[in-house]
Homo-oligomer: A and B are copies of this chain.
Amino acid sequence: MSPEPKRRNAEKTKASILLAAQQLFAEQGFSQTGIRDIAARAGISSPLLMRYFGSKAGLFEAALIDAVRIETVLTPTKAGFGERLAMLFTDSEINITPPAIIALSVGHPDAQEIATRVVSEYVIQPVAEWLDGTDKVARATEIFMLATSFVMYSRQIPVIGKSEHKGRSVNEWLAGTVQAIVDAN
């Protein structure tokens, strides 16, 4: 009687696994998230997940790469980058951003190695190439550092997400500080 009798579809299954992994890794971090949790949220069994992604670390890497959407803020014009990045990284609806996953995965050796490599290749390098001026890699790293610290604390210490400082919200402060690094070429 079910309108769609649950047809098999490997592509959609893989996508649902990736989404579940991104959500849970971002919420709970690498070591606190089990493959059974992810499989349950994706609506499948854990061995299937293992066959598609090889290991928990492999799934983590795939989920991280898939979560990167940095190219959407690397527009030709440099103005407004701070705001766009702050929006991209702090949108409360889609909170599966790289900073969130990274921040919640520090400490575990495997996750740390993967996160460092993926962020370096898929976030920091593109931003660095997009920047003008000198010290591109260092400035791109600083930008990501700031964004990550913001995401981390807007979750952990609730007051900071809403706090106002000299009339500017902390979100605006992040955008402004990031933009200052962009313009300091």
State the A residues within 8 Å of B (CB).
Answer: 28-32, 102-109, 112, 115-116, 119-120, 134-135, 137-139, 141-142, 145-146, 148-150, 152-153, 156-157, 159-160, 163-166, 170, 173, 184
Interchain CA distance A159-B112 in the complex, whole Å: 15
Contact pick for A159, options B109, B137, B153, B163, CB 8 Å = B137
List 29 A-B pairs, Cβ < 8 Å. A29-B31, A29-B107, A31-B32, A31-B107, A32-B107, A105-B107, A112-B156, A116-B157, A119-B157, A120-B157, A134-B166, A135-B163, A135-B165, A138-B160, A138-B163, A138-B164, A138-B170, A141-B153, A141-B157, A141-B160, A141-B163, A142-B160, A142-B170, A145-B152, A145-B160, A148-B152, A149-B149, A149-B152, A166-B184
Residue pair B152, A106 in contact (C-beta under 8 Å) = yes
